């Protein structure tokens, strides 16, 4: 009989322990749920702050870009033949593949062609042929830059600004 009493006492103790464990688990789950709710609220607030700061940054960037664009337009509009010669020549040597020098001289179609071919070349770099395309457009820019800078001011003005010769 003493074994039965011992077993019953052990069974009661185990049931009590199991009940205590269930209650502890419920309390822990409740606390975890509360903490998760708090974290979710904090995350929402941080998300709102991040969105606000991102929109502020975007507005500042737009304003800066607008100021830069206006300043660049004024600078290019004021540029005389000599200034355009040096500017176009240096830009052709440095960024010739992008056609920036063509845009400076007012050749938007030709600048777009160079830029488009370069973009296609960058896309095709993974195939391998794109490297040669980009290299070719850079070579065209280099040659044009050297040609621009080696011409006299009068010859450059007559050829590229009055005569509107778009290539070389």
Residues 6+ apart with CB under 8 A from 40: none
Q: What percent of the chain has pLDDT over 70?
A: 84
pTM above 0.85, yes or no: no
Sequence-distant (≥ 6) Cβ neighbours of residue 103 within 8 angstroms: 111
The residue written with tokens 């100021």 in the block is 67
Mean pLDDT of the chain: 81
Per-residue DSSP letter, 74? H
SS3 167: coil
CA distance 165 to 168: 8
Residues 25-38: what's their mean pLDDT? Answer: 84
- Residue 124 is given by DSSP the state G
């Amino acid at each position: 009989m003493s074994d039965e009493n011992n077993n019953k006492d052990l069974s009661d103790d185990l049931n009590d322990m199991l009940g205590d464990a269930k209650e502890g688990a419920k309390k822990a789950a409740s606390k975890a749920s509360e903490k998760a709710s708090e974290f979710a609220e904090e995350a929402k607030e941080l998300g709102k702050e991040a969105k606000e700061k991102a929109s502020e940054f975007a507005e500042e960037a737009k304003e800066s870009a607008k100021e830069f664009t206006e300043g660049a337009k004024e600078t290019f509009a004021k540029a005389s033949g000599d200034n355009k010669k040096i500017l176009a020549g240096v830009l052709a040597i440095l960024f010739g593949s992008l056609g920036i020098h063509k845009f400076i001289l007012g050749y938007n179609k030709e600048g777009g062609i160079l830029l488009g071919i370069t973009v296609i070349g960058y896309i095709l770099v993974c195939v391998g042929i794109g490297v040669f395309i980009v290299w070719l457009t850079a070579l065209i820019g280099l040659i044009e830059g050297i040609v621009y800078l080696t011409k006299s001011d009068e010859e450059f003005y007559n050829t590229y600004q009055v005569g509107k010769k778009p290539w070389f």
